[in-house]
Amino acid sequence: MDSSQDTSDMMTPLERLGASRRSFLALAGAGGGAVALSACAGGGGGDDSSSSGDAADGGGDKSDDNPFGVKSGSSVDVVIFDGGYGDDYAKDAGKAFEKLHSDITPKVTSTVNIQPELQPRFVGGNPPDLFDNSGAQSMSVEALVNQDQLADLQPLLDAKGVDGTAIKDTLLPGATDPGTYSGTFLALNYVYTVYAIWYSAKQFEDKGWSAPKTWDDLMALGEEAKKDKIALFSYGGQNASNYYQELALTMAIKEGGLDVQKKLDSLDAKAFEQDTVVKAFAAMEDAVKAGFFAKGGEGIKHTQAQTDWVTGKSVIYPSGSWIENEQREVTPDDYEMTGAPAPLLSSGAKLPYEAVHGTAGEPFLVPSKGKNTAGGMEFLRVMLSKEQATNFTTLTGSPTVVKDAAPTGDDASTALKSVLSMIEGAGENTFTFNFVDWYNLGPDTVTQWTEFLSGAIGADELREKQQKMLDKVREDDSIKKFDVE
């Protein structure tokens, strides 16, 4: 997902299902973050009035252009994760902020080490006013929530945006779901990710192939690929084999409906014994036994697996819509990267083929004890303007959570066009699941799925391991559990 950094040091919303580069819970931060943050749970931050009381009231004069009353002469400390999306979009938002507020100074800095750099600031009572909590070294949201370190962002949703419409009315369906913890909106996830199966439209046209709409179609495509001596799938077993967990669970939810998702997120004692989950895992095992996965995947990272895919060593790759930007440097110019919804397991699926796993990612957080929390919210309000959202998509190829804010026509790549088409086609038939991110289960899922895809264990044993993983969390009273709507 990164064209400017070494992506082996970052993980990907699957790595949102693993160690997500776009994850809500840290990999590096989850262990030490909760302990270290406890030292500052009662600490204050700064002397600005916005660091206490109403986080959305900066103490300055309020107006349509300054709904949170950010004080004249103040500064706004913004920290951006300089990963797959870079930081140009944030710098551009800073310039737009300055145009709107000539008397307020946004200070935008970038890093790839969110947790190592920001945790000491939280401990010292001097957190930034806004930060992009992304990357393999993101901070533990669970720890931040438990220690009341995050401001409630509901006032941001209720405020009028730069374009004059209430922000909550400008967002895509489900945009606020992943940032809502037990009913409180704490994280504005800026990027809208659509999970799909990705392929080369040029290759498919040359071969006379069609995007598979059913699992049987996909297996038939695997046999066609075999004739050309190429694999159906590539996978990166070192850090992202659980991209195939995402595919399996998406198919299970489309087959059985949203109750399947709810049992997973609620840590149900029989979550992985649900009929459609059993069916999806068994289907994946058929693909493993058929030899449809590239050999040696257990020993490589996701970036190498993706490079193998775009250079013709495999046909299909399941991923989030960040994939185009992540592989931009190595994808052939005529590849025509395109995404399609996950296939259906059967004709009796409860959700239509067009249904997609779509969710917001790239979480932006406003620390409750920052010096200028109102300024942090105002910077987000600027980012959520149609102009800045369109600019983000133009720069990165990924849509934001802002509706109808993307380049069109010749300015849009085949990948982006397919993402926008999937969003439109799905309509309200979008869903997500959160248990991996909520409870920092990425490392375990990677290990389990690498064993499975390499053929070391079968589908039944994989499901048993996944269920034990949920059971351990459910039975640990020290872990805060999040409500499932």
Q: Which CATH architecture has domain 194-358+434-474?
A: 3-Layer(aba) Sandwich (3.40)
Q: Which two structure tokens, joined as six digits, stand for 31?
A: 């262990």
Q: What is the pLDDT along the chain (485 residues), one digit of tens a residue?
A: 333 333 333 344 444 333 333 332 332 333 333 333 333 323 333 334 344 458 889 999 999 999 999 999 999 999 999 987 899 999 999 999 999 999 999 999 999 999 999 999 999 999 999 999 998 789 988 889 889 999 999 999 999 999 999 999 999 888 998 899 889 999 999 999 999 999 999 999 999 999 999 999 999 999 999 999 999 999 999 999 999 999 999 999 999 999 999 999 999 999 999 999 999 999 999 999 999 999 999 999 999 999 999 999 999 999 999 899 889 899 999 999 999 999 999 999 999 999 999 999 899 999 999 999 999 999 999 999 999 999 999 998 889 999 999 887 777 899 999 999 999 999 989 999 999 988 889 899 999 999 999 999 999 999 999 999 999 999 999 988 989 97
CATH number for 7-193+361-411 (one of 2.40.50.140, 3.40.190.10, 3.40.50.300, 1.10.10.10): it is 3.40.190.10
SS3 sequence of the chain: CCCCCCHHHCCCCCCCCCCCCCCCCCCHHHHHHHHHHHCCCCCCCCCCHHHCCCCCCCCCCCECCECCCCCCCCEEEEEEECCCCCCHHHHHHHHHHHHHCCCCEEEEEEECCHHHHHHHHHHCCCCCCEEECCCCCCCCHHHHHHCCCECCCHHHHHCECCCCCEHHHCECCCCCCCCEECCEECCEEEEEEECEEEEEHHHHHHHCCCCCCEHHHHHHHHHHHHHCCCEEECCCCCCCCCHHHHHHHHHHHHHHCHHHHHHHHCCCCCHHHCHHHHHHHHHHHHHHHCCCECCCHHHCCHHHHHHHHHCCCEEEEEECCCHHHHCCCCCCCCCCEEEECCCECCCCCCCCCCCEEEEEEEEEECECCCCCHHHHHHHHHHHCCHHHHHHHHHHHCCCECECCCCCCHHHCCHHHHHHHHHHHHHCCCEECCCHHHHCCCHHHHHHHHHHHHCCCCCHHHHHHHHHHHHHHHHCCCCCCCCCCC
Q: Which two structure tokens, joined as six digits, stand for 400?
A: 């934001």
Residues 6+ apart with CB under 8 A from 432: 174, 177, 178, 261, 357, 358, 359
Q: Which residue has the tokens 């590849």?
A: 335
Report how far residue 257's alpha carbon sits from residue 349's, in angstroms, rounded to the nearest whole number: 8
Report how far residue 434's alpha carbon sits from residue 58's, in angstroms, rounded to the nearest whole number: 33
Report how far residue 398's alpha carbon sits from residue 10's, in angstroms, rounded to the nearest whole number: 18
Residues 6+ apart with CB under 8 A from 312: 203, 230
Residues 6+ apart with CB under 8 A from 121: 127, 128
Comma-separated ranges of CATH 3.40.190.10 domains in the chain: 7-193+361-411, 194-358+434-474
Note the pTM of the prediction, 2 decimals: 0.81
